[in-house]
A and B are shown apart, each in its own frame.
Chain A
Amino acid sequence: MNRLLIVPAGCCLVAFAALFASLQRTRAESPVAARSPSQPATVSAPSSSTASLLTQAEAEKVLVDLKDNVLRSRRAWEESPRRLMSRARIQPKSTEPSSTEYTLSVSQPGEHQWLGTILVRSGPQTQTYPCVIDKVTKKVALFGGQWKSAEAWLEGEIAPIR
């Protein structure tokens, strides 16, 4: 291989490294993106110390945040630009206005969990997801065929595009 190819190959390698470093830096600066999807979701309740148990009000706040995130995910899909000749889906899945609700069970099965449900409506379809909030760790797990962390659930189960 001669210089005619080695020089551009080297330039491409440097350009790729620079692009990767720049994206990595951007990602590191964004707290949401920096969290690995495989990490369990920990939702911090407002003004609660880690030593204390999650109160009912704090658990409700957790569920409100979660249902807002569902709508945010739907809205991102509805607002995302697409053009006809792209590799994206030609016919997007339903983009009908979505709504979400939550319920929190007052009666508790044990000392360490709150039980609740997140209800997602999209057009005529309604789906209910049971969820468990750990009072100590404040981790949320949702059931949609199998138990998932809130982030994994938002990523896989609820995204309207897969």
Chain B
Amino acid sequence: MLYFTKLPFAWVWTLATVLASAVILWNTAIYFEGGARPHFLLEKGIWAKQAWWLATFYFHLVGACLCLAAGTPLMFEAWTQKHPRWHRALGYIYINTVLWMAAPSGLVLAFTAKGGGWGTAGFALAGVLWWQTTWTGYQAIRRRDLPTHIRAMVRSFALALSAPAFRVIQIGLFWLGVADEANYILSLWFSIVVSLLLSESYLLRSGRSTFPSFTVTYPASGANP
């Protein structure tokens, strides 16, 4: 995965990221199985009984799953260079699911998030950044501005990965004995920071950063990540 390029144990990090994303996809099955109400919906109490909230939640769930599944292969540079058609098809799915499903619904759900104001602010920030970076990436590829497209999509998918990061951090903080409410807020904000660090550190290492001291040194044509 390109985020871990030039890092020690890159394949281990890649495997962990792909596995964590896969677990999230598998976890969402409980919301479609019927039967007893899942914990998360019980926790939401009154909101989970409102049709608009449930519709937004399921929309977010499906959108987020689709974009995680479609976006993961796109972060393997060699694969996308070898399969430009797949890149375009999966990229199309990714962009549309983020722009019209996962990000807007996430933004709405932010206002009913756990963790009070900090929870709402964190999810809203993540939603706005996610939408904005994806939109920037789409506009850039429409005008064939490859450097901007790559930068924006690397940032966008890093924000998508904040979902698995959130869960991993939450489990870690739980093991450290952090109380539930504080754990939730810390996990949320740490996962956003981790996502930003992941994308920016890769862009710096690969010379694709927007920082002026780094020169863009990749081919201007052909397939891209």
Show the binding face of A for B, using Cβ within 8 Å: 2, 4-5, 8-9, 12-13, 15-16, 19-20, 23-24, 26-27, 33, 37, 76-77, 79-92, 155-156, 159, 161-162
Contact status A23-B40, CB under 8 Å:
no
Q: How far is the CA of A113 from the CA of B56 in the complex (A)?
A: 43
Q: Could you show 20 A-B contacts with beta carbons less than 8 Å apart?
A: A2-B142, A5-B96, A5-B99, A9-B99, A9-B100, A12-B96, A16-B56, A19-B59, A33-B49, A76-B36, A76-B37, A85-B24, A85-B27, A86-B27, A87-B166, A87-B170, A88-B38, A88-B43, A90-B170, A161-B39
Which residue on A lies nearest to B138, using beta carbons? A5
Interface range, B side: 35 or more
A87 CA / B20 CA spacing, docked (Å): 14
Interface pair B171/A156, CB less than 8 Å apart = no
The winner among B41, B42, B168 for most chain A CB atoms within 10 A is B42
Once the chains bind, are A80 and B180 in contact (CB under 8 Å)?
Answer: no
CB of A92 within 8 A of CB of B39, answer: yes
Question: What residues make up the interface of B, taking CB atoms closer than 8 Å to A?
Answer: 20, 23-24, 26-27, 30, 33, 35-43, 45-46, 49, 51-52, 54-56, 58-59, 92, 95-96, 99-101, 114, 138, 142, 164, 166-168, 170-171, 174, 180, 183
- Given contact pairs A83-B30, A85-B24, A77 touches B40 in the complex (Cβ within 8 A): no
Q: Given A37-B46, A82-B38, list of 16 further CB < 8 A pairs? A: A5-B95, A5-B99, A15-B59, A16-B55, A20-B52, A23-B51, A76-B36, A79-B36, A80-B38, A82-B30, A82-B40, A86-B39, A90-B171, A90-B180, A91-B180, A162-B43
The dominant DSSP class at the B interface is helix
Judge whether B38 and A81 touch: CB under 8 Å.
Answer: yes
Whether A156 lies near B39 (C-beta < 8 A) is no
A86's partner among B36, B40, B46, B51 (CB-CB below 8 A) is: B40
Whether the pair A155, B55 counts as a contact (CB closer than 8 A) is no
Closest CB-CB distance, B28 to chain A, in whole Å? 9
Chain A residue, CB-CB nearest to B27: A83
List chain A residues, Cβ under 8 A from B23. 85
Q: Which residues of chain A come closer than 8 Å to B58, judged between CB atoms?
A: 19
Instruction: Please state if B100 and A161 are interface contacts (CB–CB under 8 Å).
Output: no
A27–B23 Cα distance when bound, in Å, is 31
Closest to A4 in B: B92
Which residues from B are CB-within-8-Å of A162? Answer: 43, 45
* Complex alpha-carbon distance, A77 and B38, angstroms: 8
Contact between B46 and A80 (Cβ–Cβ < 8 Å)? no
| Contact between chains at B36 and A156 (CB < 8 Å) | no
**Closest CB-CB distance, A125 to chain B, in whole Å?**
18
Q: Give every chain B residue within 8 A of A88 (Cβ-Cβ).
A: 38-40, 43
A76 CB contact (under 8 Å) in B24, B42, B55, B174 = B42
Partner of A81, one of B39, B59, B171: B39
Q: In the complex, A9→B101 CA distance in Å?
A: 9
Determine the distance from Cα of A4 to Cα of B95 in the docked complex, in whole angstroms: 11
Cβ–Cβ < 8 Å partners of B183 in chain A: 90
Bound-state Cα–Cα, A109 to B138, Å: 71
Whether the pair A8, B100 counts as a contact (CB closer than 8 A) is yes
Q: Which residues on the A side are within 8 Å of B40 (C-beta)? A: 82, 86-88
